[in-house]
């Protein structure tokens, strides 16, 4: 008596046959051993060419030269397989490492997307969205924008030593270039981007109370110890900083919302060195 073939197996077989048929029906540009370079693969590779060479590979001569490059690459892969490289322990281990790295990147991207979509949902629900009136009111209460430089070091002793050298006449900019751990600002003598209240680390808000030209610190943050120098202060017009102020107000609303969320989600620091 004949046995019934499961429907899922029939569908899988049909799908596999359809994939094979679509690939076989596709126009082949070249063959290297048993591997075919199809028209769609060729076009896909062309899109990866640097913009400066796009006009060249669009010519008949350029397209042929580019195809020769693809043939050479495929020939190397075929030769490597024939030589047993694909079966070697080193190759298998490196492929496994690539998979682990790819999984890690995918996990990070998925986490970022999860948070991003949640924030967008809160914005759509008007939980954290900022209005222009709120932004104008915020800037009215916090009108100052400061220009400053800083030097970031790892320990309090290093900070005190750097501060003593600067008070003794050493150049702040040169000290920042030589000793600051902040790679983003060290090369420019420790110069930070002009900041409104709410755009700096909370510990660096002290800059808004300092006088122009004043040297301050050490100030401790989660990144280390900061030596500060206030270069200037101005009062920008609302339209010039509108988007920045909107972001500050939205971030503050998000921080307050997270505090309410944390009441229902347990947070515990386990490692003793962080307690």
User: What is the pTM for the complete model shown?
Assistant: 0.68
Distance CA 11, CA 125 (A): 43
Q: Name the residue ranges covered by the structural domains of the chain.
A: 17-82, 88-124, 144-238
Per the CB < 8 A criterion, the answer to whether 212 and 230 are in contact is yes
Cα separations in angstroms, 225 against 146, 196, 200, 257, 273: 20, 21, 15, 30, 18
Does residue 167 surpass a pLDDT of 90? yes
Mean per-residue pLDDT, 143-149: 97
Regarding predicted confidence, which is higher, 173 or 265? 173
- Whole-number pLDDT of residue 241: 97
- Whole-number pLDDT of residue 2: 39
Regarding predicted confidence, which is higher, 56 or 97? 97
- Whole-number pLDDT of residue 21: 45
Does residue 17 surpass a pLDDT of 60? no
Lowest-confidence region among 117-126, 189-198, 220-229, 256-265 = 256-265
DSSP 210-240: SPTT-EEEEEEETTEEEEEEEEEEE---HHH
CATH 3.30.460.80 fits 144-238, yes or no: no
């Amino acid at each position: 008596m004949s046995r019934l073939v499961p429907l899922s197996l029939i569908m899988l077989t049909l799908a596999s046959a359809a994939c094979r048929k679509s690939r076989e029906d596709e126009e082949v540009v070249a063959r290297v051993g048993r591997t075919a370079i199809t028209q769609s693969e060729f076009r896909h590779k062309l899109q990866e060419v640097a913009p400066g060479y796009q006009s060249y590979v669009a010519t008949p001569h350029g397209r042929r030269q580019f195809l020769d490059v693809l043939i050479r690459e495929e020939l190397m892969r075929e030769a490597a397989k024939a030589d047993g490289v694909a079966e070697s322990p080193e190759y298998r281990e490196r492929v496994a490492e690539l998979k682990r790295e790819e999984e890690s990147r995918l996990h990070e991207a998925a986490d970022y997307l999860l948070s991003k979509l949640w924030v967008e949902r809160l914005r759509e629900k008007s939980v954290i969205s900022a209005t222009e009136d709120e932004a104008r009111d915020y800037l009215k209460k916090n009108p100052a924008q400061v220009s400053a430089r800083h030097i970031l070091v790892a320990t309090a002793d290093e900070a005190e030593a750097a501060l003593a050298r600067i008070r003794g006449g050493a150049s702040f900019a040169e000290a920042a270039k030589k000793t600051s751990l902040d790679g983003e600002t060290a090369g420019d003598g420790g110069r930070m981007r002009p900041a409104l209240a709410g755009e700096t680390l909370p510990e660096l808000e002290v800059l808004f109370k300092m006088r122009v030209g004043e040297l301050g610190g050490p100030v401790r943050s989660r990144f280390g110890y900061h030596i500060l120098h206030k270069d200037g202060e101005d009062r920008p017009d609302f339209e010039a900083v509108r988007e920045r102020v909107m972001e500050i107000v939205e971030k503050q609303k998000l921080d307050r919302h997270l505090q309410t969320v944390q009441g229902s989600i347990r947070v515990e620091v386990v490692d003793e060195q962080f307690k």
